[in-house]
Amino acid sequence: MGIQNRLNKLRNKRGFTLVELMIVVAIIGVLAALAIYGVRKYLTNAKTAEARMGVGRLAKDAQLAYERESVATGIVKLTKTADIAHRLCSSATKVPLLDADIKNKKYQSQPADWTTLPALADGSAAGWSCLKFTMSDPQYFQYEYTTTSDATKSGIKGDKYTVHARGDLDGDDTLSDLSMDGEIQEDAVSKELLLTLAPTITEANPEE
């Protein structure tokens, strides 16, 4: 009887079979793969948040620049008038200028990067100087502002601008591009010109 009890205890203490161990290892592998993907997705979204905030702020800065009144420089003669204009800022070069500077890297800009010289023919600020947009922290993305408007003249119906934030977070030379548009439209009733923004940011390859 004592021998039978010992045999029963040994049976109850048997280890896992090879099949059971393989199933456990497979489950752990699947969970690990999902965890790695989730972490990468989280990190990418965290980095892309910079671009979304930057694009939104840059688009708003361009809108505010248009709303500012600009008038001819110099003294207005008594009883004379000076035309008031609303103008879009002229196009601004990329910051940083080289795509390689944001290839799986962070770029630290300097104040001069956000200053566009020379000024326009009438002495008004051009490009980044007109937009008053800057970034002081290291950036994952390259920023650019382009416009179809003649910045020396008052904006007209159909004039547009586009702001871009381009990145290469994984360093594969394929750029992501987050952009937002603004356009001058004419109110059908009052004929007033209004600058309107796109309702959302357009995202191309946001995980690149």
Q: Tokens for 207, please give them.
A: 């995980």
6 domain residue, yes or no: no
3 domain residue, yes or no: no
Alpha-carbon span 160 to 194, nearest angstrom: 12
3-state secondary structure of 102: helix
89 domain residue, yes or no: yes
- What distance lies between CA 192 and its chain's CA centroid? 31
Q: How many structural domains is the chain composed of?
A: 1
124 domain residue, yes or no: yes
Alpha-carbon span 207 to 171, nearest angstrom: 11
Q: Render each residue's pLDDT in the chain as its tens digit; 208 residues.
A: 566 666 566 566 666 677 777 887 888 877 777 666 665 665 667 788 999 999 999 999 999 999 988 776 667 788 877 777 899 999 999 999 999 999 999 999 999 999 999 888 878 889 999 999 999 999 999 999 999 999 988 999 999 999 999 999 988 999 999 999 999 999 999 999 999 999 999 999 877 7
Q: Which residues constitute the domain of residue 181?
A: 36-204
pTM exceeds 0.85: no
Alpha-carbon span 165 to 48, nearest angstrom: 10
20 domain residue, yes or no: no
Q: Are the beta carbons of 122 and 162 closer than 8 angstroms?
A: no
